[in-house]
Chain A
Amino acid sequence: MEEVQEGASAPSVHGHNIKVTEVVIDGDTLTFLIVSQKLSGTGEYHVYRIYEDLEWLQHHLFSQEDVPGIQGVIFPPIPAKPQVNASAKVMKQLGFLGLGEWQPYCKALESFLRQVASHSVLKKSKAVEIFLTSADPPGRQRVRKNIFNRLSQAVGEMRKEGHKDVDEFFQAARDQNLIITGCTKSATERFLDVVLTEQKIAVACGHFSAALHLCVEAGEDPDKQAFSSICVKLSEVFESIKKNMMSTAENNVSTLGLGLDLESRYQEAEKEMLFRRTCKLAELETARRNAEKAKPVKKAAMEEVKKAAETEFNHICGVAKQEIARYEAARVQMLQQALVQWCEKQLLTARESADQFDQCLQGFRGMA
């Protein structure tokens, strides 16, 4: 059932309905079952992947040297590394993704893979094909080193962040990105607080409901029975309040929460892309200066370096412009979807709860 198609220019699966259907917790590692439908029609690929495989995939996407302007791509952001029994700090980093039984994480992973598989540039990568279809997990050691390289590189170039841009469009994009990244991040965090508190309330309601059951007194005494039945009913009420809170919290997570989280991570990705471009710009400027100052002997070589840098930079700019436009459209749509879904779900929950409360109220009123 699982086969490897080497050298394909596009993956042999549908990008838009890749699913992460299952998560297996084995000790400290989480293994995800990724299901994708074959383009050919019938049949699905089922592969098990761990987080390191995802890192491998991302690394390969980053390092596609042969694709012109690859640095201008906004790479779909990969969720942070999940951990079983994670510390509070890691949980905080995971945000919404760390909630519940990893369903939000699977969702995030799913959307990451879909975006990769349907990205016009990235889907052509062989790594995508291997990741989605190969039964054997891709190699892992190499990746670690490269990631480390990337990180040190990033630290070295951090100071270029404030570099003045030559292109107004990009300058504006960078400024806007900087502002909105902060806002989104804080909104996401606040929203997470809301959800966490809602969960706490649900738990508290559950406790209260359970405690009420203990108040039930046995006995034939009508007053006692009346009080007992009140306790039982009230316990039911709090049970439904609890359910209401639970589903409200869940709605929050599954719609707007994930939406904000994705948005936040995407903005980080955009920031990274812009930063890469800025680095390239700095490189190009250095090359230009060097070419001007260079002695005649080296002039030709310098000019060549400059030319190469220029072409690469132009490529990056071209891709980046497209990517930004695409992202802007996509994010508005994504957020809209998140908001609408959120609203609809909350409405549904609120209506259901109102009905339940009304029934309980009628029940109480009906009590003699």
Chain B
Amino acid sequence: RQLLLSTSTFDYATYHSLDEIYAFMDLLVAENPNLVSKLEIGRSTENRPLYVLKFSRGGTNRPAVWIDTGIHSREWVTQASGVWFAKKIVLDHENDEGLASVLDKMDIFLEIVTNPDGFVFTHTQNRMWRKTRSRHSGSLCVGVDPNRNWDAGFGGPGASGNPCSETYHGPYANSEPEVKAIVDFVKNHGNIKAFVSIHSYSQLLLYPYGYTSTPVPDQKELHQISEKAVAALSSLYGTSYKYGSIITTIYQASGGTIDWTYNQGIKYSFTFELRDTGRYGFLLPAKQIVPTAEETWLALKVIMQHALDHLY
């Protein structure tokens, strides 16, 4: 592999290893020290650093947008899109009116590889690995589903108590350091206004709840934002998305990320399921990375703009 010297020569249209993505992050910070910084919010089970990029024009503890990709390690188009988003923010932060207005008042936090242990495992051992790589006593099976490990309806229907299952919720909420790191960050920050967790595949835009069929109080507003965001997404390449609450649109799922963030008071909590709808599934051809990232970015901008215009 060649040594990466600049984010301008980085190949955004291919899938990269963890080391390559971490090198990209450092370069991006070095090239844009006034806008971008890198935070370590914790360590994974296998002691890998958990990095978050912070995009900020200044201020102290500004209201913020959080975006994470790669919480499920096999969903490779998400980490690849995260890398693209990082570069896009840097490229557009002055000349794109919408993005500039967001960064004028808000910070953006981006965790590109939310599950680094799983990600490395998908490169070295099993491309279809989803969970973390933790071992909890009494089981031969490894890993917890990080999207069932949050303290929202934890352990209820929509997650499995079987450690060998892909949706194993773990021994207790926040047992996974990858999850705990984000929980601590969100609580300590205290001023996050929009939270977006990105998955693949299915082409969906989802809002809470997953653990219960009780609609969230802000259902109407979240539905309207989703409609607008999906329209923006589709406008680029005609990719069609469905949207709605998790439980009505996909399935019942307990202990999920955005159920917890919503219950923390982060009203604009959304989950994306990116391309495709099953033809390639997790093995999305690399040539679709950039189109996927481009269209998703338009939807993200709608969400960020709405949060900016409706700060609470």
A binds B: no
